[in-house]
Amino acid sequence: MKNIDSIGHVRGESIYLDDIPVRTGTLYALVYDAPCAHARIKNVDYSKAEALPGLVRILTHRDIVGENEIGNIFQDEPLLAEDEIHFWGMPIALIIAESEYIARQAKKLISIELEELPVITDPREARAKNKLIAPPRTFKMGDTNSAWAACEYIFEGTTETNGQEHLYIETQGAYAYPTEHGSIRISSSTQGPTQVQKAIAKVLGIPMHKVEVDVTRLGGGFGGKEDQATAWGVLVALAAQILKKPIKYSLHRMDDMRMTGKRHPYSSDYKIGLSKDLKILAYEATFHQNAGASADLSPAVLERTLFHATNMYSVPNVEVTAYSCRTHLPPNTAFRGFGGPQGMFVMEAAISRAANELGIAARDIQARNILQEGDEFPYGQKAEKCHAQKVWNTTLKHYNIEEIEQEIATFNSENKYYKKGMAIMPVCFGISFTNTPMNHARALVHIYQDGSVGISTGGVEMGQGLNTKMVQVAMAELSLSAQRIKIETTNTTRVANTSPSAASATADLNGKALEQACKELKKRLIETAAKHLKSDNSNITIENEFVFNNNKKTDIDWEKLVQLAFLDRVCLTENGHYATPVIYFDKAKEKGHPFAYHVYGNSITVVTVDCLRGRYEIDAVKLVHDFGKKMNTPIDDGQIEGGVVQGIGWMTMEEILYNDKGKLLSNALSTYKIPDIYSVPKELIIKNLETEGHPLAIRKSKAVGEPPLMYGIGAYFAIQNAVKAFNPNYTLKYDAPFTPEKVLMGLYEKVEKEAPVGAEILN
């Protein structure tokens, strides 16, 4: 089935926040944000700005009736700065004007007096100064201390992974207007409507039932709107409450890049020990997460790093510790993979390092340590329905790894200034919010008198194809055609207390709730049919919009059936509720069964490095992915393609830079390079691993949103191998992204100066 949004998107008819027609009298908001990263505010002078014609009001923390607090996991994040600034871009005041242009003019007229304070941007420095968001966490299995003695080889090192800007096409934004009885209605570009509702209620000092949050769809979220859409929603709601006017705020791209958090940079240490026959006997790692100025989702991200520290390998002795370090950067947040990629990079770096030292291929170590059915993860869950070995073998066989390696060797021996490199990147990703209480959802289904169906769920469409999958679920459960089904906006008054659309679990959780609701409605309709046909419920089926009695088609079609039920006063509305069974986690022991299931995959990445320029191309990413019983090929393959390219961007070109004063230097698309059409692998082949699918996945079709991003990690190691092929003196470094500048430096690191490189070409 095609994505139900395709035609609307192509015609420009799909509605995003900025497409909502504005009401008469709408005013425009703009944040006045901190011009430094850490300081005490001595005085802010708004008087010149306030005198500007068309300026309506400037709001500060003093205007807040409720609490000046939007922190979610921890209450450590003021909406508007009070006495102290914690990061460059921290909101200080909200300018409200008759137009965005006037608001921008007014912003220039505000002046501030500050007493600057020391700035920390480095997580290791924060740890040394004991600036932690929360106490560190350790996952432990076996006993690494005694295992080292049994190891033939031990290697230690450090790694760095940088942040990543979400660059959703639609920037953050919200539009609020007051309704009656002191209530407020907000359209928000958020992955978490309930989170926005809750924070508004708290800041405005009103109950949640007075706040209605509505979301049609997002122009991308990628985790950046899981928690960080909240501030903008609260700000416009606050202004609407005070001014009793509709207030709109849609962020300028550069404001969004400056003020919002990104993927967490990590600085990590590893120690890996292997037996003579390359079995990984012990693995230790210490992760320093750069959380930024407040907690946001950092503790949850940190935990997912620990959960994925050993990726798709079985290691008997593991001890991994993670520190969430408070710095003066914008609070970092969820980003596709949610700490998982950061953890897996360190493991792959350790393997790469060991392989290089031993003069073997990384895949010799990888192959020897693949997770097996029944193996225990360091967090206590056992690998069940484990496809790790199958996905590994299928990849190597299907794509003929020996042939790929031979081709690369031949190419490299025949070419002096172009070198190819290859890497294998397996992925094992756990599906469920690691915080067990978040794994639930609801769906509200109305069957209208004419037989058409309206569905509301708690899930947010952000380009991942959720709504199409929800249509497919209802079609299957009610035996209906797609045209009869409409997916409504996501609205807190129709579906309440939702978890954000995240953790790749949205289709599973909301789809299962929807299945539940449809099953109940179908039961009622079958009872109606049985009554009218004077038959037994068990004899009735509904197929292709017709009632069958004892497998014989009757003259009752769907519309007639709904009419009969309506006249019989049968309830044609149902609310389904689903909570993932089986899962639990004991944080005191750091053991449990946190995931409904795991997604497995494996990929081969081949690159060509231009050894004169340091540029590279991704020749191919060939992968085998465990989709389960795939319910929508175009959508799921699209998720893989997008995830792979986003992962390659993180690993190779997207370089977030702050100066030591905490100012974002990569603050625009001219200074922050994201993948374009030329960055896409020349060949991207997706093979479906044939399996049964998983009963806890929606229609046995496994979650696919985040896992593919981690295939992109292969690009780092493939480029590294190509650099090594050109320059044997190059010392392996694990400092992502591997930008063309770093590649060039690596190519000529410690190279003897005989003739200028490329001289013979010039001659």
Task: List the interface residues with ligand MOS, window 199-238 (CB under 6 A).
Answer: 221, 223, 226
- Helix-helix angle 506-532:466-478, to 10 degrees: 20
Q: Is there binding between residue 738 and ligand LUZ (CB under 6 A)?
A: no
Stretch that binds ligand LUZ, among 325-333, 399-407, 427-435, 570-578 (CB under 6 A): 427-435
Q: Least CB distance from residue 263 to ligand MTE, whole Å? A: 10
Q: Is there binding between residue 334 and ligand LUZ (CB under 6 A)?
A: yes
Among 503, 648, 736, 743, binds ligand MOS (CB under 6 A): 503
Residue 414 annotated to the active site = no
Nearer to ligand MTE, 64 or 301 (CB): 301
Among 187, 639, 666, 739, binds ligand MTE (CB under 6 A): 639
**Closest Cα partner for 623 from 649, 646, 605, 610?**
605
CA distances to 26, 524, 566 from 557, in Å: 48, 15, 14
Q: Is there binding between residue 631 and ligand MTE (CB under 6 A)?
A: no
743 in Cβ contact with 723 (< 8 Å): yes
Q: Is there binding between residue 326 and ligand MOS (CB under 6 A)?
A: no
Nearer to ligand MTE, 246 or 511 (CB): 511
Q: Is there binding between residue 600 and ligand LUZ (CB under 6 A)?
A: no
**Closest Cα partner for 705 from 651, 654, 638?**
638
Is residue 563 classed as helix, strand or coil in its secondary structure? helix
| Residue 151 site contact among ligand LUZ, ligand MTE, ligand MOS, none (CB < 5 to 8 Å, cut-off depends on kind) | none
Nearer to ligand LUZ, 339 or 649 (CB): 339
Stretch that binds ligand LUZ, among 345-353, 388-396, 433-441, 555-563 (CB under 6 A): 433-441
Nearer to ligand MOS, 381 or 501 (CB): 501
Phi-psi region of 586 (alpha: psi -120 to 50; beta: other; left: phi over 0): beta
| Residue 471 site contact among ligand MTE, ligand MOS, ligand LUZ, none (CB < 5 to 8 Å, cut-off depends on kind) | none
**Structure token pair of residue 121:** 């941007």
CA distance 305 to 91: 30
Q: Least CB distance from residue 193 to ligand MTE, whole Å? A: 14
According to DSSP, residue 77 is labeled -
| Residue 675 site contact among ligand MOS, ligand MTE, ligand LUZ, none (CB < 5 to 8 Å, cut-off depends on kind) | none
Q: Is there binding between residue 335 and ligand MOS (CB under 6 A)?
A: yes
**Strands 266-274 and 153-161, sheet pairing:** antiparallel
| Residue 464 site contact among ligand MTE, ligand LUZ, ligand MOS, none (CB < 5 to 8 Å, cut-off depends on kind) | ligand MTE
Nearer to ligand MTE, 468 or 602 (CB): 468
Q: Is there binding between residue 304 and ligand LUZ (CB under 6 A)?
A: yes
Cβ-count burial of 456 within 10 angstroms (0-12 exposed, 13-18 middle, 19+ buried)? buried
CA distances to 77, 259, 293, 610, 697 from 114, in Å: 20, 19, 18, 49, 53
Q: Which amino acid is at 342?
A: Q
Q: Least CB distance from residue 432 to ligand LUZ, whole Å? A: 7
Residue with tokens 């929360």: 134
Task: List the interface residues with ligand MTE, window 433-492 (CB under 6 A).
Answer: 462-464, 466
Q: Is there binding between residue 196 and ligand MOS (CB under 6 A)?
A: no
Q: Which amino acid is at 163?
A: G
Q: Which residue is nearest to ligand MOS (CB)?
A: 223
CA distance 443 to 281: 47
**Closest Cα partner for 478 from 455, 510, 508?**
455
Q: In what order do the strands lie in the sheet with 453-457?
A: 485-487, 453-457, 440-447, 573-579
Nearer to ligand MOS, 334 or 623 (CB): 334
Q: Is there binding between residue 338 and ligand MOS (CB under 6 A)?
A: yes
Residue with tokens 């470094």: 733
Q: Is there binding between residue 202 and ligand MTE (CB under 6 A)?
A: no
| Strands of 526-595, DSSP E | 540-543, 546-549, 552-557, 573-579, 584-586, 591-593
Q: Least CB distance from residue 216 to ligand MTE, whole Å? A: 14
Q: Least CB distance from residue 592 to ligand MTE, whole Å? A: 22
Nearer to ligand LUZ, 26 or 435 (CB): 435
CA distances to 1, 147, 200 from 482, in Å: 9, 58, 36
Q: Is there binding between residue 336 and ligand MOS (CB under 6 A)?
A: yes
x/- mask, ligand MTE, residues 495-514, rule CB under 6 A, reads ------xxxxxxx-------
Task: List the interface residues with ligand LUZ, window 240-299 (CB under 6 A).
Answer: 297
**Closest Cα partner for 475 from 436, 443, 515?**
515
Among 139, 175, 222, 429, binds ligand MTE (CB under 6 A): 222
Q: Least CB distance from residue 490 to ligand MOS, whole Å? A: 15
Nearer to ligand LUZ, 251 or 503 (CB): 503
DSSP H helices, 533-613, are 558-567
**Closest Cα partner for 174 from 231, 91, 227?**
231
In DSSP terms, 85 is beta-bridged to 39
Torsion angle of the four alpha carbons 686, 690, 696, 697, in this order, in degrees rounded to the nearest 10? 30
Q: Least CB distance from residue 651 to ligand MOS, whole Å? A: 17
Q: Least CB distance from residue 214 to ligand MTE, whole Å? A: 18
Q: Which amino acid is at 569?
A: R
- Helix-helix angle 713-726:740-747, to 10 degrees: 30
Q: Is there binding between residue 71 and ligand MTE (CB under 6 A)?
A: no
Q: In what order do the strands lie in the sheet with 597-610?
A: 418-431, 597-610, 615-625, 683-688
Q: Is there binding between residue 433 and ligand MOS (CB under 6 A)?
A: no
Is residue 320 classed as helix, strand or coil in its secondary structure? strand
Q: Is there binding between residue 427 and ligand MOS (CB under 6 A)?
A: no
**Structure token pair of residue 142:** 């076996």
Q: Which residue in 706, 749, 754, 760 is the catalytic one?
A: 706
| Residue 85 site contact among ligand LUZ, ligand MOS, ligand MTE, none (CB < 5 to 8 Å, cut-off depends on kind) | none
Q: Is there binding between residue 653 and ligand MTE (CB under 6 A)?
A: no
How many CB atoms within 10 Å of residue 402?
9
CA distance 561 to 533: 11
In DSSP terms, 247 is beta-bridged to 27, 176
Among 144, 434, 498, 691, binds ligand LUZ (CB under 6 A): 434
Q: Least CB distance from residue 334 to ligand LUZ, whole Å? A: 5
**Structure token pair of residue 594:** 């946190």
Residues marked as catalytic: 706
Q: In the complex, which residues of this chain contact ligand MOS (CB under 6 A)?
A: 191, 221, 223, 226, 334-336, 338, 502-503, 706
Q: In the complex, which residues of this chain contact ligand MTE (CB under 6 A)?
A: 220-223, 336, 462-464, 466, 501-507, 639, 642, 703, 705-706
Q: In the complex, which residues of this chain contact ligand LUZ (CB under 6 A)?
A: 297, 300, 304, 334, 338, 433-435, 502-503
